[in-house]
Amino acid sequence: MEKSFKRILCQLAVALCAVAFIGLTGIKAHAADYANDGALKVSGVGLASTKTGQKVILRGVSTHGINWDVAYPYISTEAYATLKNNYNVDAIRLAMYTTEYFGYCDKAGAGESQSEVQRVLKERIDTGVKAATANNMYVIIDWHILNDQNPNKYKSQAKKFFDEISKKYAGYDNVLYEICNEPNGGTSWSDITKYAKEIIPVIRANSPNSIIIVGTPTWSQDVDVAADNPLPYDNVMYTLHFYSATHKDSYRDKLKKAIDKGLPIMVTEYGLSPASGDGNLDKAEAKKWLDMLDANGISYFAWSLSNKSETSALLKSGTSKKSGWSTSDLSEAGKWVFAQYKSRSGSTGSQTDSDLTMPVKVKGLKLKKIKGKKIKVTFDAVEGASGYQIRYSDNKNFKKAKNVTSFTNKVTLKKLKKKKSCYVKVRAYKTSGNVRKYGKYSGVKVIKIK
């Protein structure tokens, strides 16, 4: 009985200390939006907008491995629009496994050649980057090591990948690079720094100011170890992962030690389940984590945007919708995560259509042919617009039309039908919280595809 009483007192003291810590270190940071905040920079232990200088927090979701069909069907403009507009998600993490089936470096039992696997995975990344950009979201390209344990195992492949990918997206200020997901199996911080010192200069040569995120030892839990010997580069952050049913006070202590030393941190993966990704959820512990992260302006990404039959998945197992999810399509974890994002980003979902003014009609629509079944669409920008919806079809009545969302007034439409006419119209929209209001469509323009 005495030991139990002492243990209760000890737990109470730890909880009170945690509350005091949060209260004393509270940082004002707003939910990020690429259109408003532009490129991000490291500021203290978190992030800030290069446009405004204000602190920002990314509240994102991570895909499951884009190597598999539980993840890649949700890489789309429409899916990300649902996340942004309905659930206050402002960032996506594209998790590309380097090993396991269809792995970038080791395809395992996949029937395709290794080069074909790599081509498909880079195509999925490209779709994800452009879908996130179209929705004013930030996006992490994640070199998702796991079973390979030590990032140095495939270092030469990583150097080639990040050289190619950072050249391709050098003009995308919303792209962040995560260079090693979860080093494990005894991989030391010295091993990781050796790897990072070869990969970071490769990215910096093409993208001098982008945010680069580095994994830490023991499945990215030892941020306290990294804090003792951080890397000698600007705009570099360090990864902490947690699963609230497994990782509790002792892991938050690691975070506190790293914060006290000023280490820039990003939680690129967390869940409410045990570390396995499956099992009973611990919402109380998850709330403690998010409270601590918010208080210190640290960004976080929930695992995972998938319908996999495990409790960490944000969609219900068996959900067939690829976008447009209602609350009934979400898992228990998904309902909790998205409710937290709404309340923590300042949106309660109580806004109505009348809270927004109607954007004016888009004018000045022009179409120009580009080689390779493409057309360039330009139009006059609408003052105060949050973005634009471009609707196009090979039918003048817009049957089976496709939509593209963009935050700029210049868009390239690709993979159009050869020797067909393409009909295009555009409308602007404004958003506030999870409400989007559209203006009237422009007049229709048509162009023949060669």
What digits encode the pLDDT tens for the residues 373-423? 899 999 998 887 888 899 999 998 888 888 888 878 899 998 898 889 999
Looking at the predicted structure, is the pLDDT value of residue 124 above 80?
Answer: yes
**Shortest CA distance to 411 belongs to which of 349, 448, 362?**
362
Judge if the upstream peptide bond of residue 304 is cis by omega within 30 degrees of 0: yes
What average pLDDT does the segment 261-274 reach? 98
Q: Where are the domains of the chain?
A: 24-344, 353-448
Q: Is the pLDDT of residue 13 over 50?
A: no
Residue-wise pLDDT for 233-262, tens only, equals 999 999 999 999 999 999 999 999 999 999
CATH number of 353-448: 2.60.40.10
The two beta strands, 402-406 and 138-144, are unpaired
Same fold flag, 24-344 and 353-448 = no
- Catalytic, out of 112, 164, 178, 269: 269
Q: What is the mean pLDDT of residues 94-102?
A: 98
346 CB-contact burial (10 Å; exposed 0-12 / middle 13-18 / buried 19+): exposed
Q: Give the other-Cβ count within 10 Å of 378's Cβ.
A: 15
Catalytic residue check, 269: yes
182 is catalytic: yes
The single residue of 182, 198, 285, 310 carrying the catalytic annotation is 182
| Average pLDDT over the chain, rounded to an integer | 90
pTM of the predicted protein model: 0.76
Least reliable range by pLDDT among 146-160, 350-364, 433-447: 350-364
Cβ–Cβ under 8 Å, residues 304 and 312 = yes
Higher pLDDT, 349 or 36: 36
CATH architecture of 24-344: Alpha-Beta Barrel (3.20)
Burial letters 188-200, b for 16+ CB under 10 A, else e: ebebbeebbebbb
